[in-house]
Chains A and B, each alone.
Chain A
Amino acid sequence: MKTKEVYMEKLFNIFNIALMLLLTLITITPFIHTFAKSLSEEYFVLAKKVYLIPKGFTWASYQTVLRNVVFRSSMMNSIFLITVGTGINIIITILCAYPLSRRKSFPGQKVFMILFIFTMFFNGGIIPTYMIVKNTGLMNKLWALILPNAVNPFNLIIMKNFFMSIPDSLEEAAEIDGASKWRCLFTIMIPLSKSAIATLSLFYAVAHWNSYFNALMYITDRFKYPLQLYLREIIISVDSAIDGSNAENAPTLGVKSATMFISMIPILMVYPFVQKYFVKGIMVGAVKG
C-alpha cells in the first residue's frame, strides 16, 4: 500500500514538473521566435525556415529600424511619457493621497474620497472625454496622454493607505516642533514611503510605455506617435503587404520583428525590479485595498 502511494506521489511530481516546463516553454517560445526572425535574412523568414535560431544572421533589420526617423521620434516620445508623465502622475498622486489620508484633520475628506472613487465605477465614455480633450486644446499633443489620467484612483488608494500606516506620533512630534504640513509631507511622509512610491512609479511607467489606445484617438502627427502606436502602424502595414495591396513600402517581416523586440527591451531591463516591487504592490493592494 505504501509503495503505491509513493509511486503516485512520484508520478504526480513528474507530471507537475513536465507541465510547468511546458507552460514555461509555451510562454517564452514566441519571444525567442520573434527574436530569431529579427536577426535573420528576410529570404529565410519568408520561406518559413526560421524557428528558434536565426538563419542567415544579419543585423540589417535592426539597422533599418534604428535608422528610421519616425521610430526614433516615437522612442523619444515614449521616453518623455515615462519620465515627465510618470513624474506628474507620482507628484499629483502623492499630493492627493496625503490630505486624503488625514481623516481626522481634513474636513471633507470623505467627500473628496468619494469624488475620486466614483470615477472608478462610472465615466462619461470615450466620446465625451474626447470632446473635452479637444476643447482644452490637447489634441495632437503628448499632454493628452498625461493630464486626463494623471491620477489613477486605484494607485491613489494604495498611496493613501500607505500614508495611513505611518504612525501619527511622527507627525505629531514634528508639528509640536513647529513643522508645517508641507514640511511634514516632504521630510516625514515621502522619505518613509520610498517603496510605495517606487511601486507606483513602476505601475504608471509600464502603463505609459504600453498604452496605445489614447494615442490612437488623440495623436495625428506621426512624429508625435508614442512607440506602441508606431509599432501598430508597422504591424498593420506588414499584414496588408502580405495580402498584396501595398507591397513596395511595407517593412519586411524582419524589420517588424526587430521593432517589436526593441520595444520590449526597456520592459525586460526593468523586469527584475518590477518583480520585486510589483508583487509586493499587488499584495499590499490586495490586502489593504
Chain B
Amino acid sequence: MKARQIKKQNSLINSIKEASPYYLMLLPGLILLIIYKYLPIYGVTIAFKNYNIMKGILGSPWVGLEHFEKLFGMSKFYQMFYNTLIISFQKIVFQFPFPIIFAILLNELKNQRFKKVVQTVTYIPHFISWVIISGIFIDILSPSTGIVNYIIQALGGKPVRFMTDPDIFRGVLVVSSIWKDFGYDAIIYLAAITTISQEQYEAAIVDGANRFQRIWHVTLPGISSTVIVMLILRLGKIMDVGHEQILMMYNNAVYDKADVLSTYIYRVGLGNMQYSLTAAAGLFQSVIGCIMLFLSNLFAKKMGESGIV
C-alpha cells in the first residue's frame, strides 16, 4: 500500500515538474489577477473600517457595521436602490423582446441582400461608445437646439425637456439603450433560428400553416431555449444598470430618479472621498449581484438548461 502511495506522490511531483513551463506561462496573468482582482476583494474590508489614508487599509480602525447602518439609514439609499431596480426592470421588459421580434421578422425577409444590409446597419451603434451616443442623443433631444423638439414645435407642441424631466429621462435611457443594442443582440437569435431545420417549415406548409402560424409553431419553439438562457443571463445582471450610459446622460435635475448605486459611488466616493461609505455601498451591490447570478443560474438548471457555471 505504502509503495503505491509513494508512487502516486512521485508521479504527482513528476507531473508538476513536467508541467513547469505551464506554470511559467500562467504566471504573468495570475500575478495581475491577484493584484488587481483579488487584492481589492481584501480591500473591501474598508467597508467595515474608518478608512484613513495615513494609516492605510491595515491600520485603519474597525467600525463593524457602522457604515452599513448609515447606508441603510439614508433615505437616499433606498431611492438609489429603487432606481437601480426600476431602470433595470424597464430595460428588461422593453429591451429584451425587441431583438427577438426583430430577428424573427428579419429572418422572414426574402431578399438576402436587403437582409444583410439591414443587419449590417442595425448593429453599428453597438460598436460606438456611449460617449458618442449620449452626445448624439443629448444633441437631438435638446429643448433649444434639438431636432426632435424642433419637429414637435413645428407640429404645434411644446418643447419636451427630455433630459431634465426626471420622469421622461428614464424613458430616454431605455430607448437609447434599445437603439444602441437591438441589432447586435439579435445576432444570437438569428444564429439560433438558422439551426431550425427546413424540414419543419416544409412540414408546416404541407399542413397548411400560414406565415404567422409557421412563426408561432416552428420558429418560436425552435429558439425558446436560447431565449430562456438569454433571459436568465440578463436577470442575473440586474444590478448592472449601465452606469457608463447614465453617467454620460444624467445631470442634477434628474438625480432623484436616475442616480443609481454605481453613479453614486463614483460621485461621492471618488468625488467627495468618502471611501469607506461607498465601499460599503459597492459591497452591497456586488453581493446582491452575486446572489442574483447564482439564483438565475440555479433557475436555469432547474429548467433543464446547462447554465453558465
Contacts and interface: CB of A to CB of B under 8 A. Distances in A.
B128 A96 contact: no
Contacts of A45: 145
Interface in A77-135: 92-93, 95-96, 98-100, 102, 105-107, 112, 115-117, 119, 121-133
Residue among B33, B122, B211 having the largest count of chain A Cβ atoms under 10 Å: B33
Nearest to A212: B131
Contacts of B19: 99, 102, 105-107, 181
Nearest to B102: A23
A216 to B, nearest CB: 8
Interface in B200-226: 210-212
A128 B40 contact: yes
A17 B113 CA distance: 12
Interface string B120-143: 111011011111101111111010
B63 interface: no
A13 interface: yes
Contacts of A180: 21
Contacts, number: 249
B174 interface: no
Given A282-B191, A283-B191, A20 B106 contact: yes
Interface stretch (A65-73, A165-173, A228-236): A228-236
B25 A99 contact: yes
A249 interface: no
Given A8-B210, A27-B125, A46-B145, A105 B39 contact: no
Nearest to A134: B53
Interface string B145-172: 1010010000000000000000000000
B269 A127 contact: yes
Nearest to A261: B132
B188 interface: yes
B127 A217 contact: no
B73 interface: no
B140 A95 contact: no
Nearest to B51: A131
A128 B279 contact: yes
Interface string A1-30: 000010011001100110111011011101
B41 interface: yes
A57 interface: no
Given A107-B12, A125-B282, A125-B283, A267 B22 contact: no
Contacts of A130: 269-270
A217 B138 CA distance: 23
B244 A213 contact: yes
B228 interface: no
A126 B12 contact: no
A33 to B, nearest CB: 7
Contact of A112 (B26, B43, B294, B308): B26
A96 B41 contact: no
Contacts of B212: 12
Given A23-B102, A213-B247, A121 B35 contact: no
Interface residues of B, number: 89
A27 B22 contact: no
> Which of B37, B109, B134, B289 is the most central at the interface, judged by chain A CB atoms within 10 Å of its CB?
B37
A275 interface: yes
A132 to B, nearest CB: 5
A54 to B, nearest CB: 15
Contacts of B110: 13
B179 A27 contact: yes
Interface in B24-40: 25-26, 28-30, 32-33, 35-40
A242 B146 CA distance: 12
Interface of B: 12, 15-16, 18-19, 21-23, 25-26, 28-30, 32-33, 35-44, 46, 57, 102, 105-106, 108-110, 114, 117-118, 120-122, 124-125, 127-132, 134-140, 142, 144-145, 147, 150, 179, 183, 187-188, 191, 210-212, 243-244, 247-248, 262, 265-266, 269-270, 275, 278-279, 282-283, 285-286, 289-290, 293-294, 308-309
Given A125-B283, A126-B262, 19 more contacts: A9-B210, A12-B211, A13-B108, A24-B122, A27-B125, A48-B145, A48-B147, A106-B22, A112-B26, A119-B38, A127-B270, A128-B40, A212-B131, A228-B131, A228-B132, A235-B131, A239-B138, A264-B132, A279-B187
26 contacts: A5-B210, A13-B110, A17-B109, A24-B122, A27-B125, A96-B25, A105-B19, A112-B30, A121-B293, A122-B290, A123-B41, A124-B41, A125-B286, A127-B46, A127-B279, A128-B46, A130-B269, A136-B35, A151-B29, A181-B19, A181-B25, A185-B25, A213-B244, A256-B135, A263-B132, A268-B124
Interface of A: 5, 8-9, 12-13, 16-17, 19-21, 23-24, 26-28, 30-31, 33-34, 45-46, 48, 51, 92-93, 95-96, 98-100, 102, 105-107, 112, 115-117, 119, 121-133, 136, 147-151, 180-182, 185, 206, 209-213, 216-217, 228-229, 231-232, 235, 239, 242, 253, 256-257, 260, 263-264, 267-268, 271, 274-275, 279, 282-283, 286, 289
